[in-house]
Amino acid sequence: MSAENNLTGVRRSRPRRTDEGKDKATARDELRKAILAGEYMPGERLVEAQLIERFGASRFNIRLALQDLAGEGLVEIQRNRGAQVRKISLAETIEITQVRMVLEGLVAAQAATRVTDEEASELDEIGLLMRRAVEAGEFRRYSDLNQQLHALVRRIAGHQTADRLIGTLRAQLARHQFMLSLLPGRPMVSLPQHERIITAIRGRDPGEAEAAMRDHIASVIEVLRTLDDQGIIP
């Protein structure tokens, strides 16, 4: 969400290799990765001194990194009380997924108007691999392919604004994200939905592509509501 690395293409006149102090961007990316990997749990305090030790960056850069992640909704900063990994309620999870639904719907529609023949082949390829993964019961692999498919659709659409927003929203749900794919029976339901999306984009039918994507994500929301009734997610 920022153009901060100005790679001028010109080599540095003054090499400063020996410095191992990491800059803001590096610290931010590593910390985000750690949070998404679940190494810090929601609600856990992020004490600056500890982060300095772990990531080897200066306090200044650590603070900037925390500010950035707060902007992304991954971290919550309370004045004079420090930062903690943001807790996301189920209600908020549903809201976020609803927004993802309409955004990915928009992206799917745009992908349908822009897809090239080559990209269509890529879509087919992923669809095929998905079907195989489901038949083989490789659910983890199916989950990966799921992400690949959504990423490919976004790449085809080339909608930077929607793309960026979807990225930050997905990050906020990273914890729940892959759990869903592993629910018993989920792949059987979502596979035909994915295939419908692929077919619509291949057929260059924006309306159908959007509808297919929205139905797909709407069914995820249904599952979330079910989990709510069962009290599975806090």
176, amino acid identity: H
Total of chain residues touching DNA, rule CB under 7 A: 28
44, amino acid identity: E
Among DNA, its own copies, none, the one that 96 touches (CB under a kind-dependent 5 to 8 A) is its own copies
Q: Which of 103, 107, 108, 100 is nearest to 200 (CA)?
A: 108
Question: Does residue 60 touch DNA according to CB under 7 A?
Answer: yes
How far lies 16's CA from each of 12, 20, 25, 201, in Å? 9, 9, 17, 49
Please give the structure tokens belonging to residue 119.
Answer: 């990209």
Looking at beta carbons only, is 161 or 230 nearer to its own copies? 161
Among DNA, its own copies, none, the one that 37 touches (CB under a kind-dependent 5 to 8 A) is none
Q: Which of 101, 98, 106, 152 is nearest to 126 (CA)?
A: 152
Q: Which stretch binds DNA (CB under 7 A): 18-26, 123-131, 133-141, 202-210?
A: 18-26
Q: How far apart are CA 212 and CA 147, in angstroms?
A: 16
CB contact at 8 A, 217 and 101: yes
CB contact at 8 A, 116 and 204: no
List, in sequence order, every residue forming a beta bridge with 57; answer none if it has no partner.
22
Q: Which stretch binds its own copies (CB under 8 A): 13-21, 29-37, 140-148, 157-165?
A: 157-165
Total of chain residues touching its own copies, rule CB under 8 A: 33
Question: Does residue 76 touch its own copies according to CB under 8 A?
Answer: yes
Residues forming contacts to its own copies in the complex (CB under 8 A) are 1-6, 64, 67-68, 70-71, 73, 76-81, 92, 95-96, 98-99, 101-103, 105-106, 159-162, 165
Residues forming contacts to DNA in the complex (CB under 7 A) are 2-3, 6, 8, 12, 14-16, 21, 23-24, 45-49, 58-61, 63-64, 77, 79-83
